[in-house]
Amino acid sequence: MFNILTLNKIAKCGLDKLGDNYTITDDVAANADGIILRSYKMHDMELPSNLKAIARAGAGTNNIPTDKCTEQGIVVFNTPGANANAVKELVIAGMLLASRDVIGGVEWANTLTGDDVDKQVEKGKSNFAGCEIKGKTLGIIGLGAIGILVANAAYALGMDVIGYDPYLSVDSALKLSRHVKKANTPDEVYAAADYITIHVPLMDSTRNTINAETISQMKDGVVILNFARGGLVNNADIKKAIADGKVKKYVVDFSDSETVNQKGIINIPHLGASTEESEDNCAVMASEEIADFLENGNILNSVNLPNCSLPNDNVGRITIIHKNVPNVIAKYTEALSSVNISDMINKSRGDVAYTIINTDHAIPADAVEKLSNMDSVIRVRVIK
């Protein structure tokens, strides 16, 4: 039986995937085996001693103390692509809102009174005229699950699209329309685009990606869209660029005290993934990821450990989270010399690695103790 702590409301269709072998609680004092959450900030939270895995029902994991989890052998998952379509649709909506003054027009129309509203509308509508996105160039920084969908949708709407992503995978490239131009540097995107949308994770290396220097490389009247994370755009620099006329509009899905009620900024209250379909998709994926890890030791879509899996059809199975250092596998197999190893896989990610070992015999307790006492080992878990 596994105990799962939910730190936010998680869609029932996802939690139902866990089945009868799980108890679900929202009591933060519970000594949970796994945590499923959305935006709850965990950095000041004391992690349960039994905690083995955390699944974020969404893409970003900056609300989770990932480094601390890695040190303690806790696997952190996210759900890439589960909310991609929802965010894509809102990005397109953001472009349209920035191009056509729909918001201003609606607000004005709601102030009209009298029997001649139709005449007032015809007289005043020119104040809210805008431009079409067809024929304009959209620049995309980050061609992951969301960036690819945005690129393909924008091309289908008649836009020219240029994207930059130095980590573009083969699988992602195959999903990208052949009509999307791939830039060699972000500078190419900044110089070419009428609209720029950013879709990268927030890290030290990406914080303030959009700043005074990068804005200076953009076209006059550029529209900037941020549906990834607020810290990717420097608020002070974007407000100055709007005041100077360099940036026409800034559309942001992460409203804060520096962006609300500012001329030229369209604040959206973090609605990117807020659809019924997206919340269901994220909940299902998060539940399936955490269940496969707890029950089988398999890892898929972790942000701190490598993807690693084996069929679970043997008598014994043990997993080891360990440091990525030379000559450790031989030590692990030596510790298990009293049983026959039928299959094994080892994968690494930076300074950490993960090994799954299947055996034809039950895992002896003394072997587990030997492994646990090795300097290179972070965490050992007997699956069966």
- Looking at residue 59, its pLDDT comes to 84
- Looking at residue 60, its pLDDT comes to 83
CA atoms within 13 A on the CB side of 253: 23
Q: How far apart are CA 310 and CA 345, in angstroms?
A: 7
- Looking at residue 234, its pLDDT comes to 97
- Looking at residue 171, its pLDDT comes to 87
- The 3-state secondary structure of the chain, one letter per residue: CEEEEECCCCCHHHHHHHHHHEEEECCCCCCCCEEEECCCCCCCCCCCCCCCEEEECCCCCCCCCHHHHHHCCCEEECCCCCCHHHHHHHHHHHHHHHHCCHHHHHHHHCCCCCCCHHHHHHHHHHHHCCCCCCCCEEEEECCCHHHHHHHHHHHHCCCEEEEECCCCCHHHHHHCCCCCEECCCHHHHHHHCCEEEECCCCCCCCCCCECHHHHHCCCCCEEEEECCCHHHECHHHHHHHHHCCCEEEEEECECCCCCCCCCCEEECECCCCCCHHHHHHHHHHHHHHHHHHHHHCCECCECCCCCECCCCCCCEEEEEEEECCCCCHHHHHHHCCCCCEEEEEEEEECCEEEEEEEECCCCCHHHHHHHHCCCCEEEEEECC
Is residue 253 within 8 Å of residue 272, measured between CB atoms?
Answer: yes
Which amino acid type is present at position 22?
Answer: Y
Tens digit of each residue's pLDDT (9 = 90 or more) over 161-198: 999 999 998 988 999 999 999 999 999 999 999 999 99
> What percent of the chain stands above pLDDT 90?
95
* Section 132-142 average pLDDT: 98
Tens digit of each residue's pLDDT (9 = 90 or more) over 108-124: 999 999 999 999 999 99
> What percent of the chain stands above pLDDT 70?
100
Q: How far apart are CA 2 and CA 32, in angstroms?
A: 8
- Looking at residue 374, its pLDDT comes to 97
- Looking at residue 52, its pLDDT comes to 98
Residue 369 in this model has a pLDDT that exceeds 90: yes
Tens digit of each residue's pLDDT (9 = 90 or more) over 55-90: 999 988 989 999 999 999 999 999 999 999 999 999
* Section 233-257 average pLDDT: 97
Catalytic residue list: 229, 258, 270
| Closest alpha carbon to 209 in 189, 194, 180, 182 | 189
- Looking at residue 273, its pLDDT comes to 87
Average pLDDT score, the chain: 96
| Closest alpha carbon to 339 in 314, 364, 322, 318 | 364
The edge-to-edge listing of strands for the beta sheet with 265-267 is 181-182, 160-164, 137-141, 195-198, 222-226, 247-252, 265-267
**Neighbour count for residue 191 (Cβ, 10 Å):** 14
